Amino acid sequence: MSDPAPSAAELPLDPEQRLAAEAEARSVLVLAGPGTGKTTTLVGRYLHLLERGAQPARIFVSTFTARAAGELRERIGARLEATGRGIEPEFFRRMPIATLHGMALRLLQRHPPPGCPPFKVFDEQACARVIARHRLYLGDDVRKPGDVFGAYKDRLMDPAAALAEAKARNDSALLEAAEAYGRYQKALAEEGGFDFGDLIMELVRGLEADEAYRARLAGFFDHLLIDEYQDINPAQERMLRLLRDQGARLWAVGDDDQCLYAWRSADPAFILGFEAAWPDPALYRLSCNYRSTATIVAASGALIGANRKRHAKDQVPRSASRLAMTIAGLDDDEAEAEYVLSVVRGLAGRGMPWREMAVLYRAGHVGSRIQIRLAEAGVPLVVRGAGEFWQLGPVRLVAGLARLLADPKDMDARAMLGHGKRVDRLLQQAPEKIDADVPWPALCRQVGRLVSATARPPGEEGLQWRDLAFTAADLAAECDGAAAFVARMEEQRRSLRRAETEGDAVVLSTIHGAKGLEWSAVVVAGCEADLMPHDSSPDLEEERRLMYVAATRAKRWLVLSFAALRRAAARPSPYIAEMIGGLDEDQVRYHDARSRALLHAAPLPETRAPKPLRLRPELKAAAPMRKGRSPSRRTRA
């Protein structure tokens, strides 16, 4: 006889978590805000089901990422070991714990539906190569083909449906995208490949087309446990409905206040409308925040409370700490980067490990300035989200083109440029607009001007593009030729790789890339009115959710910084005032008197004039910077 399953009563669950873990309804939604023990409750639910006699092979657990699936297996295993239950590797291997895409792949491989061809899975890089080989680029150079094709699949639209939609709307951009999507699917089929979006689409097709097949697969599972339910898209929601065909129970956990992936077709309507959409529904709330101080909980609660489309919920902090939140208003982006450096150095000097600090931002160009300053100061860094500076699109174009013009035989430079309509235009215009015989600094600045103006995206993204192009050109111009420039890039890359390997490094990340993580200290940089909320976003409630997620990553120290001048005169984000509105005076600390004055100053006019980035006038061994302002800076408008 096997060892008895562990009791849920043995888990360290609080009363709210226990009620949610032991819920009996057929459709359960657990609303779990930041720091309320979401994963603990999910593990409790899993072990409760084992106690009630459920078989591990018949419990499907979905997580948002493959990494989260691995961590969940470890936590379940640790709880089972703590209760004396024997753990066999084969037992773990059979447990269906994966992302929804991962589960779709497993089902397609082991139980392919009628008509499903043999296939191999193409990862993101392989799909990018297919796009490049077949020149499947879109004319505006703004929409990424892979994202556009993936969005069609997230909505379960095949090329015929996409084309019909474009014709019905009489939209030329949609028509171009739909036609490219059709060519992309044809190219994948010729190579026998499925991308990630195809996995769920093909499984849904098979489940909908064949009743016997649907009954067979749905019969595999008695329980569906879905993590991060707020982020599911229409294709995933349809897959779950079909897998419940034989009566499996649904238990989902998520937080509508953390729905950030509209650009991946995630729809908060699924979590907001849960009770109306599923049979025999029950709603549970976790309200005890185990992560953050009372100050952070109060400030973030005041912020998110301004959203209208949300489930009403409050959090009670377990920590009574009223450690003040810091507001730092800086003159410009250079001063902001210098301030961030002083913050992380100060915390490190007080004994905090680098890995317990993070700098988060809404827009990648904000992080680029800070990344360069911290790197030149020798602070170990790990960059997530928008990515390492030298890998950003306009930066790669400047670096690659400058190197290629200096040495046409530099094949690494040609590879750095990549492919696409924008690259083709750059290479066509370069002979006319760039004098390759000028000294290296002048060559770099010519390249920066060309890249900043060529096929630049519209709106705010275009300003970011311009700033990054000029920054890359300045950094290249400071070096003594192409070889020294390559050495500089490689040194910064090696520094990042060392930090990744050693594990003790400050994290620089977009807010999207930080979701699900936490640090003792968090600096949210770029808290300006045109960045948070971003002036290109159509959904102000999602923008507020982004700020909410950023603030709630912090356990003890939360710093909000903004610049009075970045590319142009800027106002502080209105979210700062919303957060302060939930605090007492002693819970707010200003970096200096100017920070307070900038925050409470009268709003600036809406008219803005672009301002290029400026680099610090000093030299550092890791990233030497120019000794004087470039004379060409005055002619860059």
Of the spans 279-293, 436-450, 534-548, which averages the highest pLDDT? Answer: 279-293
pLDDT tens, position by position, 381-415 = 888 876 678 888 888 899 999 998 998 888 888 88
DSSP β-bridge partners for residue 554: 519
Mean pLDDT for the stretch of residues 79-93: 67
- Asked if 29 and 282 touch (Cβ cutoff 8 Å), the reply is yes
The pTM assigned to this predicted structure is 0.82
Which of the residue ranges 201-205, 456-460, 506-510 would you say has the lowest mean pLDDT?
456-460
Single-letter amino acid code for the residue at 564:
A
pLDDT at 613: 34
Residue 489 to residues 17, 113, 479, 482, 526: CA-CA distances in angstroms?
49, 49, 11, 11, 25
Q: What is the DSSP string of 438-496?
A: S-HHHHHHHHHHHHHHTTPPSHHHHHHHHHHHHHHHHHHHTSSSHHHHHHHHHHHHHHH
Q: pLDDT by residue (tens digit) across 31-56?
A: 999 999 999 999 999 999 999 999 88
Nearest CA among 531, 512, 541 for reference residue 464: 531
Instruction: Identify the CATH assignment for 296-380+504-567+570-600 out of 3.40.50.300, 3.90.1140.10, 3.30.390.30, 3.40.1390.10.
Output: 3.40.50.300
Spatial separation of the C-alpha atoms in residues 437 and 101, rounded to whole Å: 52
What type of residue is 275?
E
Is pLDDT of 494 > 90? no
Please, which pLDDT band fits residue 630 given cuts at 50, 70 and 90?
very low
Establish whether domains 8-111+200-286 and 296-380+504-567+570-600 are of one fold: yes
| Average pLDDT for 7-32 | 86
Cα torsion 172, 175, 181, 187: sign: negative
Q: Following CA atoms 349, 355, 357, 360 in sequence, which dihedral angle do they give, to the nearest 10 degrees?
A: 150
**Phi-psi label, residue 378: left if phi above 0, alpha if psi -120 to 50, beta otherwise:** left
pLDDT at 48: 94
Q: What is the mean pLDDT of the chain?
A: 86
- Average pLDDT on 305-319 reads 93
DSSP letter for each residue of 479-548: SSSHHHHHHHHHHHHHHHHHHHHH---EEEEEHHHHTT--EEEEEEE--BTTBTTBTT-S-HHHHHHHHH
**CA 610 to chain CA mean position, Å:** 27
Please give the Cα distance from 166 to 352 (Å, whole number): 54
Q: In 10 A of CB 456, how many CB atoms? A: 19
Q: What would the pLDDT profile of 317-358 be if each residue is shown by its tens digit?
A: 999 999 999 999 999 988 999 999 999 999 999 999 999 999
Using alpha carbons only, give the angle 89, 90, 92 rounded to the nearest 5 degrees: 65
Q: Return the SS3 of 400.
A: helix
In whole angstroms, what is the distance from residue 476 CA to residue 448 CA? Answer: 10
Taking CA atoms, 111 is separated from 200, 217, 222, in Å, by 14, 8, 18
Q: Can you state the angle between helices 482-502 and 459-477, rounded to 10 degrees?
A: 110
Say if residues 341 and 468 touch (Cβ distance below 8 Å): no
pLDDT at residue 166 greater than cutoff 50: yes
Provide the pLDDT for residue 602. Answer: 47
DSSP-derived letter for residue 617 is S
* Cβ partners under 8 Å of residue 520, min gap 6: 352, 356, 357, 554, 555, 556, 557
Describe the chain by its helix, strand, coil percentages, rounded to 5.
50, 15, 35
Q: How many CB atoms lie within 10 A of CB 186?
A: 11
Q: Which residues of 399-413 are buried (b: 16+ CB within 10 A; e: fewer)?
A: bbbbbbbbeeebeeb
- Local structure of 565: helix, strand or coil: strand
Q: How confident is the model at residue 375 (pLDDT cuts 50, 70, 90)?
A: confident
Instruction: Give the residue-averaged pLDDT of 537-564.
Output: 94
In whole angstroms, what is the distance from residue 430 CA to residue 397 CA?
A: 12
Return the H-helix or E-strand segment holding 67. Answer: helix 66-82
The CA R_g of the chain, rounded to the nearest whole Å, is 26
Give just the sign of the alpha carbon dihedral 496, 498, 500, 502: negative
Per-residue pLDDT, averaged over 112-119, amounts to: 94
What phi and psi values does residue 554 have, to the nearest 5 degrees? -85, 135
Report the residue count for the chain: 637
Beta-bridge partners for 357: 521
Contact assessment for residue 362 and residue 511, using Cβ atoms and an 8 Å cutoff: yes
70/84 Cα distance (integer angstroms):
21
Average pLDDT over residues 66-78: 84
- Asked if pLDDT for residue 506 goes beyond 80, the answer is yes
CB atoms within 10 A of CB 584: 11
**Domain ranges in the chain?**
8-111+200-286, 123-190, 296-380+504-567+570-600, 390-490
Q: What is the pLDDT of residue 64?
A: 85
Task: Kindly tell me if the per-residue pLDDT of 476 is higher than 70.
Answer: yes
8-111+200-286 is a CATH 3.40.50.300 domain: yes
Q: Output the pLDDT for position 612.
A: 37
Res. 264: pLDDT tops 80: no
Separation between Cα atoms, residue 402 and residue 395, nearest integer Å: 11
The single residue listed with the structure tokens 């499903």 is 116
For residue 392, the 8-state DSSP code is S
